[in-house]
Structure 1
Amino acid sequence: MALFGSKSILGIDLGTSGIKIVELSRIGGGRFDLKNYGVLDFIPKDKSVPKLDDQILISGLKDLLNKGKFLTKDTTASISSFLTFTTIIEMPYLSEKDLGKAIPFEARKYIPIPLQEVVLDWSIINVKQAGDHTNVEVFLAAVPKDQTERYKNIFISAGLNLKALELENIALSRALRGDNISPLAIVNLGGRSTSITVFDDQFERISRNYEVGGFEVAKALSETLGVSFEEAEKIKKTEGLKSGSSGFAIISPLIDLIILEAKKVVSNYEENKKVRINKIILAGGQANMPGLRNYFAEKMGKETLLGDPFKNVSYNKVLEPVLTTLKSSLSVAVGLAMRKI
């Protein structure tokens, strides 16, 4: 779902902890060729969440683009999940024209800010019989207009040709799910927060954001062990949740909070829809933390995989060691670059 509307396209994930760019070209048969990629991390100088003004983001984009020598300026970018309002509503079947008129009235019940202040988009995701009449399930998405304008200004100022803004979770699904239509959950562990999203029959069904991410983990390590924030980041990335690691007792309670939320989201969906979710996919910059996948699988009691956004992407095998480390953090950017525009 695009919120507005080459041979290659840039997918740009503009986050609070960094900028990720992936350039892909479509080679047919559902496969892509990796042309280029770039990553710029924003390292906090203290133990407070980094506040990035637009000029820092524009400057960071320009720097990354100049150093990366990308082949195109055509861009699809993501809107972060914590800036969006999404829900699924069920309505009697109408023509698309009549649905378009009716949905804004229904949306007022679910969107917590005035509709004139948001960009509203919708898609029919299911049609089902309800007795002697037909109902449709409609996925609603709303993003504050001031945020869409802000994003457009950032990318234009960086010299890019913004083709579309897309919801972060949709890009994640495209990169990680492929043609899998069975119910599964994607846990996206970012720098600032974690999103837990259930997908069923290729559509987002429920999503929750939890305000614990990689920053909180590093902050806890720094304060408890009495080390610098930079040293805490190293411990998180090299030791993580390995058994016997110096940070295990510090990190595990924070991960347990995320797992508790994931269990709630998954079990609620299973109970309400009478289905079974058997697979969890981990994504995001924190997903590569040593020991995390096994810890998550044990606590969730479900098959847990590290998401691989490059499974349908061809690339020079010389890059294998680097991409193995980066692939989880590049999931959103890859999904954006895969989008048809």
Structure 2
Amino acid sequence: EQVYLFNLRLEKPGLENVREGIELSLEEYIPITAQDAIFDYELLSEDEQSLKLQVAAIPKNVIEEYLSVFKNSMISARSFELEAQAIVRCVIEKGDLETYMVVDFGKKRTGIFIISRGIVIFTSTLDIGGAMLSSMIQKDLKISFEEAEKKKKEYGLKRNAVNTEVFSVLLNGVSVLRDEIEKHFIYWHTHKDEEGKDRPPIKKVILCGGDSNLIGLSEYFSVSMKINVEIANVWVNMVETEKNIPEINFNQSLAFATTLGLALRDFEHD
């Protein structure tokens, strides 16, 4: 939520240094000065007249805080990366250039990312997570948080006589998340890109994160949003699960999308 991501087109005539060109344009796109920002870029496309870049910028003081933590821990930091980029590297099959929405539903927050042609185009963070759902059950049923967590995992969005109370509470919570996801989904399809062109349609929504395995969640999103929604396969770029079954079970693996994506970056750069 502290990183700014945007596309920028730089004209080649008069351009001597790409980084200097970005620095001069930075304040048109983000609410911090170039002096107070650290940025990096990726070349998206190029023609005779211009360069199309994706720029990621972050306040310098945020990076300094992270660096101080590593320094005090006697760890040397080699690089930093957007969480969205790591997750997408993990859950989208390498070479797949379709457009997807990835929803990382974690314990305390949810990340929403849109990827197209292998590039993260949009990111957003919501203060909605699995712990919020458990707290809602705890309050409504007047039970401990641990009991609420257990009921959430056991029943989820299964609608039956045993689960009536939990279903009702969870439905209220996940409908808030659904509304936020749908808002971004609609915005993407109703607004043109920076060059005034129509955006490619989102092919499907992919769920990952430690709480994305909530029973019935993907089905609820799929039916209510009328789009294909599926649970991520975090091993898609690492192992052939038909031949080798990872020791960690599928549901647990969903919480490690960021970690696995960061590990895959080393393989890409080696």
Shared fold (TM-score, shorter chain, > 0.5): yes
- The answer to whether 1:190 aligns with 2:106 is yes
The residue number in structure 2 matching 1:263 is 182
* Structure with more of its chain in helix, by fraction: 2
Task: Compute the displacement of 1:188 (Å).
Answer: 1.0
- The answer to whether 1:276 aligns with 2:204 is no
* Structure with more of its chain in strand, by fraction: 1
How high is the sequence identity, in percent, across the aligned residues? Answer: 23
Q: Distance in 1 between matches of 2:181 and 2:172?
A: 14
Instruction: Tell me whether 197-206 or 145-154 shows the greater mean CA deviation.
Output: 145-154
Task: Compute the displacement of 1:239 (Å).
Answer: 1.7
The residue number in structure 1 matching 2:218 is 293
CA 1:105 to 1:250, structure 2 compared with 1: closer, same or farther past 3 Å? Answer: same
The residue number in structure 2 matching 1:83 is 2
TM-score normalised by L of structure 1? 0.68
Pairing of 1:170-249 with structure 2 (within 5 A): 170-178=85-93, 179-244=95-160, 245=163, 246-249=165-168
Residue 227 (structure 2) aligned to one of 295, 299, 302 = 302
| CA contact 2:103–2:110 (8 Å) conserved in 1 | yes
| CA contact 1:308–1:331 (8 Å) conserved in 2 | no
Residue 40 (structure 2) aligned to one of 113, 121, 134 = 121
Task: Compute the displacement of 1:144 (Å).
Answer: 2.2
Task: Compute the displacement of 1:135 (Å).
Answer: 4.0
Gaps of 5+ in 2: 193-197
The residue number in structure 2 matching 1:98 is 17
Deviations 1:170-222 (A, max 9, x none): 00111011221111110111222212111110111122222211222122111
- The answer to whether 1:336 aligns with 2:255 is no
Which letter does structure 2 place at the counterpart of 1:331? A
Gaps of 5+ in 1: 1-81
Deviations 1:277-298 (A, max 9, x none): 1211001111111111111111
Task: Compute the displacement of 1:318 (Å).
Answer: 6.7
CA 1:323 to 1:144, structure 2 compared with 1: closer, same or farther past 3 Å? Answer: farther
Residue 29 (structure 2) aligned to one of 106, 110, 121 = 110
Moved over 6 A (4+): none
Give secondary structure in 2 for the equivalent of 1:146.
Answer: helix
Give secondary structure in 1 for the equivalent of 2:42.
Answer: strand
TM-score normalised by L of structure 2? 0.85
Q: Distance in 1 between matches of 2:38 and 2:23?
A: 11
Report the RMSD for the aligned CA atoms in angstroms. Answer: 2.3
Task: Compute the displacement of 1:115 (Å).
Answer: 2.6
Q: Distance in 2 between matches of 1:96 and 1:161?
A: 35
Q: Distance in 2 between matches of 1:135 and 1:269?
A: 25
Residue 82 (structure 2) aligned to one of 167, 178, 184 = 167
Task: Give the total of aligned pairs.
Answer: 254
